[in-house]
Amino acid sequence: MNPESKSLPTEQAEPLVKIENLKKYFPIKGGGYFTGSKKLVKAVDNVTFEIYRGETLGLVGESGCGKSTLGRNILRLQEPTDGQVFFKEENILAYKGHEMRKLRKQMQIIYQDPFSSLNPRFTVGEIIGEMYDIHGIAKGAEKEKKIKEMIELVGLDPSRYHNYPHEFSGGQRQRIGIARALALNPEFVVADEPVSALDVSVQSQILNLLMKLKEELGLTMLFIAHGLNVVRHISDRVGVMYLGKIVELSETDNIFDNPAHPYTAALLSTVPEADPRLKKERIVLKGEVPSPANPPSGCHFRTRCPLATERCAIEEPPLLEVRDKHFAACHYPLEKGQTLKQAISSKEQSQESVTI
Amino acid sequence: MDKILEIDNLVTAYQGKEGFVKAVDGVSFDLNRGDTICIVGESGSGKSVTAMSIMRLVEFENGKIREGTIKFNGEDLAKKSNEEMRKIRGSRISMIFQEPLTALNPVFTVGKQITEAILFHYPIGKKEAWRRAEEMIRLVGLSDPKARLKQYPHELSGGMRQRVMIAIALASEPELLIADEPTTALDVTIEAQILELLRSLRRERNMSIMLITHDIGVAAEMADRIIIMYAGKIMEISDTQDLFDQPLHPYSKGLLDSVPRMDGERGVPLNSIEGSIPRLNEVPDGCRFSPRCPFATEKCHEEMPPLEFRGTRQVACWHVDQLLENDSLSNDRKGGEFIESGIKEPSY
């Protein structure tokens, strides 16, 4: 059995979405002309976790870590290479066309870029109305009433029913994207970097809207973002991804107050904080994220990890419960309350004593 | 204090379909030698256009400096000829851009591009130029300089490209470095590396830096002084610590409060600024921020407040005293306070 498939936090909360050993590999050209050997980019590499009903699970990581790919594979907007996705205990990867279409009503996505994700030739009414047409839910006056309710729900004026996307600002377009995603009253929503393309003063409006709607409609949300402060604010639990793998997963406070994985700790120490008085011990990671086409052996993070040893190059650390309900994939997880700097200096001390 | 840059009443306009549109409208500020100043603003605030005006690059994109002076070491750059500007640009003032892939030339090697910059400004041989280029590569923290010089931009990652850009910008030992959103396209861990590099370069070379960013967190970490811009105008100029202790302009305050803090209370509604940024061809009368401002009165809609001194700080608002009074009533600047102090509720 794969180490990562060990069950993750089991609480009283019931999982709505269960992801087991999910893999998404993209073939890239490699090798000789005749041999045609294919190399694979492991964008999502054997990921297992659960999303509980009613929670917001934040997913953070740097660009290319596979967080967006993971979100799309869960919704089957891309077909996973391998693994299972359970929605309400049913394996949706086995679903055929019409079954899947039915299911789409219950799972929706909000995209990052409100400029390219709305069809410029459709009016707002048509953009949202398309959802009702496809699923044959409402027609005519009833459809229009529903659309106007949705427009109002996301804080826009229903009189703008006949306006086109270019007549709206970035924040307003993102509201339209949210209205479209919520039009069919889904239970599960993947929000893929919903505020990254927006100006600061507009970001908080959209975050507030998402938090409010989640509460009112009882949504379960997978919130993908790279802004740590945003993820911290909105999430109940947080997963940290690095090169296709989840390296740490726990409740938000655990992750942010007592990170166990050195990558998380380093990531947190580098966030530019909007307060000059908060002088943090900054651990600036050396180097860059390696190419996912050619990840390091063993632990993928070891090439940049200040705590890495030979063991990390040989043995890949599984995602294990290192503390109560706190999962990390590291051979040398930080202890509770231990900073990365302390861990580095204690590692150096132990090495010195060996050489003596 | 020795001033490297003094900008007075700068107006830069672009030719649009319906006449000129002022992207920067009466901007004045100084930069002390050796200091880092940050211009913070959202899209359309005029922060980049201010930088492009100093470099006199606006002329290449249909813009024009209509009014004002840009004194660099006492000389007015706005009056220089193009020929004279060429000698200053990239030598005494350098600029780095947000997207290093488009700023670098894809058909030349890194080495060629750095030596080109060196040879343009120094009367030295090619060999010596390559040796200096190697030094520059090392200075910006890239490993294996000899190999790097032979590579093309597409062979490098985003962070490495930005380091190459910095190497080119610093090759001529400029007195002033203008960095326009240098880390916006980069990941957090790489952003931290580049900011660290800029800090250490500034220390070592006593360079003055003008950093343009939309990220108030980056400004907090880098700046001695912060300029807050909105819709082509300066709203506030303050020393960094002062600004974060107590913003004087309602827009500065709104901006600071709308960013979720890493030590703030989670899940609560964030303070947000209602509405959205006006387009430049439809800026409101009076104070540009007035349609979104919780303090706005009749006067604000009619008359633009001047940028006036308040101690060492400058602010353009008719209602600074009310804002201060409001803030002193509620010392707690955490979530929800914007509402309690009788100001409009966040717009959801």
Q: Are β-strands B75-76 and B63-72 bridged in parallel, bridged antiparallel, or unpaired? A: antiparallel
H/E element, B176: strand B176-180
- Determine the Cα–Cα distance for residues B261 and B273; give it in Å rounded to an integer: 16
**Structural tokens at position B32:** 């002390």
Q: Which domains does chain A have, with CATH numbers?
A: 3-106+187-195+218-355 (3.40.50.300)
Minimal Cβ distance to A201: which of B42, B157, B215 = B42
Cβ atoms within 10 Å of B288's Cβ, excluding its own: 23
Entry pTM:
0.86
Minimal Cβ distance to B189: which of A229, A232, A267 = A267
Can you give the pLDDT at residue A178? 95
Can you give the pLDDT at residue A276? 77
Q: Is B188 on the interface with A (CB under 8 A)?
A: yes
The answer to whether the Cβ–Cβ distance between A285 and B191 falls below 8 Å is no
Q: What is the pLDDT of residues B95-143, one digit of tens each?
A: 998 877 788 999 999 999 999 989 988 899 999 999 999 988 988 888 8
Residues of chain A with pLDDT under 50: 1-11
Q: Residue B337: pLDDT above 50?
A: no
Hey, which residues 281-310 in chain A have their CB within 8 Å of chain B?
282, 284-285, 288-289
Can you give the pLDDT at residue A36? 61
Residues of B in contact with A290 (CB under 8 A): none
**Structural tokens at position A137:** 């839910």
**What's the gap in Å between the CA of B91 and the closest CA on chain A?**
30
Minimal Cβ distance to A232: which of B195, B254, B260 = B260
Closest-CA residue to A50 (of A249, A218, A230): A249
**What's the gap in Å between the CA of A82 and the closest CA on chain B?**
29
Residues of B in contact with A172 (CB under 8 A): 276
Q: What is the pLDDT of residues A281-312, one digit of tens each?
A: 778 888 878 888 888 999 999 999 999 999 99
Q: Is B337 on the interface with A (CB under 8 A)?
A: no
Q: What is the pLDDT of residues A226-240, one digit of tens each?
A: 889 999 999 999 999
Residue B348: band (very low, low, confident or very high) from pLDDT cuts 50, 70, 90: very low
Compute CA B166 distance to the chain's CA centroid, rounded to the nearest angstrom: 16
Can you give the pLDDT at residue B347? 39
Minimal Cβ distance to B217: which of A201, A256, A274 = A274
Q: What is the ipTM of this complex?
A: 0.81
**What's the gap in Å between the CA of B153 and the closest CA on chain A?**
16
Angle (CA) B345-B346-B347 rounded to 5° is 110
Cα dihedral A44, A46, A50, A55, rounded to 10, equals -20
Q: Residue B241: pLDDT above 50?
A: yes
Can you give the pLDDT at residue A34? 62
Please compute the mean of the pLDDT values over residues B1-27 and round it to a whole number: 90
The answer to whether the Cβ–Cβ distance between B188 and A228 falls below 8 Å is yes
Print burial letters for B305-317: b (CB count within 10 Å at least 16), e (below 16): bebeeeeebbbbb
Please compute the mean of the pLDDT values over residues B183-206 and round it to a whole number: 87
The answer to whether the Cβ–Cβ distance between B189 and A266 falls below 8 Å is yes
Hey, which residues 35-74 in chain A have their CB within 8 Å of chain B?
62-63
